[in-house]
Homo-oligomer: A and B are copies of this chain.
């Protein structure tokens, strides 16, 4: 009596649109994400989305905000180095799970409230851990967009312009001998996908520790 036999798509709302957009970008890349295609996936007319999102840019901002929400629940220990490290690593994890986020992030022209919230959380971790204001300020700058979990993968990339891929690949040590030299230092035996991810993680932590150590030492010097 109560429910009708007819199954109907639930009404849209902002959260639903954003989560579906994230899923779509995860599956097909953000380049393939258009309002029309997303609407189709939701079984809805393109313009229906605009009742929950003021523009595509607004939608992209909302998608990022969704990712950053998860990071904000990182627990605090009261030790600035540990807290900062945890938050940054949590961000990195979130963004790596959604590779499109880095591209979107770097295309935003304005800080959104969600991004400011996130940055405020980082600053708060340092100040509450006793780091002086000026050093905290410097640290934010030093971390740069490392705090966004982003770091270009140097050796995963190959030149796209040259169609003769094999030739280019074998010619790389000649043209870019220095790059080849340090790449060889990593490549003990065949290096797989999973090990390259481990390598990236290692480098990320190395860099993070270097920076945190540098800041710490700076503080002690005062």
Contacts and interface: CB of A to CB of B under 8 A. Distances in A.
A203 B110 contact: no
Nearest to A105: B106
A111 B218 CA distance: 36
Interface stretch (A1-9, A41-49, A71-79, A141-149): A141-149
A151 B161 contact: no
- Interface size on A, as a range, is 35 or more
A158 interface: yes
A176 B119 CA distance: 9
Interface SS of chain A: helix, strand, loop or mixed?
A: helix
A159 B61 CA distance: 11
A113 interface: yes
B138 A203 contact: yes
Given A116-B176, A159-B110, A133 B181 contact: yes
Given A137-B186, A144-B146, A161 B58 contact: yes
A119 B58 contact: no
Interface string A59-82: 001000000000000000000000
A119 B182 CA distance: 11
A162 B113 contact: yes
Contact of A154 (B119, B162, B210): B119
A104 B113 CA distance: 24
Interface in A159-213: 159-162, 172, 175-179, 181-182, 185-186, 203-204, 206-207, 210-211, 213
29 contacts: A61-B160, A61-B161, A106-B106, A106-B107, A110-B159, A110-B160, A111-B157, A111-B160, A113-B162, A116-B159, A116-B176, A116-B179, A119-B154, A120-B176, A120-B179, A123-B178, A124-B177, A134-B185, A137-B185, A137-B186, A141-B151, A141-B203, A142-B206, A144-B144, A144-B150, A144-B207, A145-B145, A210-B214, A214-B214
Instruction: Enumerate the 9 nearest inter-chain pairs by beta-carbon distance, A residue then B residue, closest first.
Output: A110-B160, A111-B157, A106-B106, A123-B178, A141-B203, A142-B207, A120-B176, A124-B178, A137-B182
